[in-house]
Structure 1
Amino acid sequence: MKKFFRIQLCCVFLTALLMVGCEVKKPDSVIPESQMEDLLYDYHMAQALGENLPYDENYKRVLYTEAVFKKHGTTEAAFDSSLVWYTRHTEIMAKMYERVSKRLRTQRDEINHLIALRDKKPQITPPGDSINIWFGRQLNVLTGMPLNNRMTFTIPADSNFKKRDTLLWEMRYLFIEGKPDTAHAAIMAMQIVYENDSTISKVKRIFDSGMQHIKLYSDTLGAIKEVKGFVYYPADKKPRTLLTDKIRLMRYHCTDTLSSAAKDSLQTDSINAHKGDSVKTKTGMPADSAKVHPRLRPEELNKRSDEIRQIKPEQIETEERIQQERLQLQQDRRTHRRQQVGTSNRQRN
């Protein structure tokens, strides 16, 4: 029994020796890994600050770097020699820099968020479809007093905005003193401004607590210049409190296919097919057989008809709404021209 115990003890001892032997031996002159990670983080921050200095203040770059070494109680020579040792041990260096990069990204996002709050606009909206592009505070308190009766936002368009985007602005309202009367209801409004200075907007009066939203379709007026909105809480005889939270501004890219395009394509194919059959040369062959579309078989026509019928109702509704807005815009322009002509005629008389 004692012999067996001795064998087990020897095995444990040998295993411990092997593990110690496999570990990377670090010279005493090398900065420890945890301290080196903090040093690299501050060093890269100092380098980034130095790159944005004007030409006549380049001398501050050296001061920033020296301040980092002084903070960590080391020298530039010790830092360089330690960096050489870590560079030779790539696995340790890679893991350490991965943690440093993560900290730098977090710091960058926090700085960008503070800049967005200061300028009241985001640096750039997130890419993709079905994205929440709201950048402001999630909780707002409005009292109806002159200096605290509204919240506003302006988001300039960037490369992540597309034509015919849909924007949905929603939030939760909570009237602390109860439901307001008609004269003191909150007003929620959103507007899309295009590059050609055309605008579309929607205004909504809020009487009840709960989730409320405004949806705008950017339709086909062109590229978006900016999106603006506000919530206005008018003053009452006595101060009232309105809370807004759970705020989102969702942007949806349009991915539908115009139904009119499908119909026009079908009509064009049918016309070309009839032209190809009716136009013959003296030899009895089509005039240009390479460009003539063949006659569609009945099953192909039925398949195309089914494709047209499968168009979603919301797509048809969207196209009808766009057409109505186009007609309304044309009518407004004609009315404006008539008013200008009438004004000029009155001035002449």
Structure 2
Amino acid sequence: MKHNWALILVAFLFLVSCTPKVPKRYIQPDELEDILVEYHLAKSLATHDDDANESADVLQLLYMKAVLQKYGYTQADFDSSMVYYYTNAERFEDIYERVAERLENQALVLGATEGEMGQYASLDNNGDTANVWTERRTLSLMPVAPYDKWTFTINGDTTYRNGDRFLMRFMSDYVFQDGSKNTVLYVAVTYDNDTTITRNIHFSSSGLTQLHIPEYEKANVKQIRGFFYLKGDKDRSTTTRLLFIDNIQLVRFHKERLEINDEIEKDSLSSDSL
């Protein structure tokens, strides 16, 4: 038994030693995580500053510069590090998942106020109004394939009804030094009679974004699928171009059962006439 444990330990140490590390010339994952958390917190607090006269893009660069100075890095250090993470995007995705979790714990997710996202925050997947989102709530996109697109699929169940309508909402935060900002959200709702209703929206600014999907009364929902796609310029820029999306919700609204209300009203009238 001791011999087996020794082999397991040797194998574990071998795997750890073989895990590629981030070169020292780049910002290391733990520090990059701290930098991004502080950047988002600073930006969130600044959105409530009524005295701010600078444009959003200028303020964004100022916030990042201040945070980088605190940690002893220049903008060039940050940019070169991001080029590295562009080519190792799985690492960056892990980092930002931790960033989002820390921000959520402080109720300051990507600059969101409780009023903006809190309306449906406590909903579960039951009830006439329900948050039926079952995919990941946080993601990061870069304008470099395959990290410029993220797809999702949600299957319907017995809690869905004819005439349901939907509202998809989320917070977004662009960190772009230059280049055009343009992201597409596409949603397709397929029903059990094979009818499909599609909706899409383009968004190019940070903040709360919402997409409405209308009701359809002839069939029940079979599947909801779609994607986020961050469009990129033709040139593979080495400047910072990131999109963070968080607090994704898909709110389902049951249609009011007017026929039930009508029956109740009839019963009430009958009782009054007796």
TM-score using structure 2 length: 0.46
Kindly indicate whether structure 1 or structure 2 has the higher relative contact order, using CA contacts under 8 Å at least 6 residues apart: 2
Higher helix share: 1
Point out the structure with max Rg over C-alpha: 1
TM-score using structure 1 length: 0.36
Higher strand share: 2
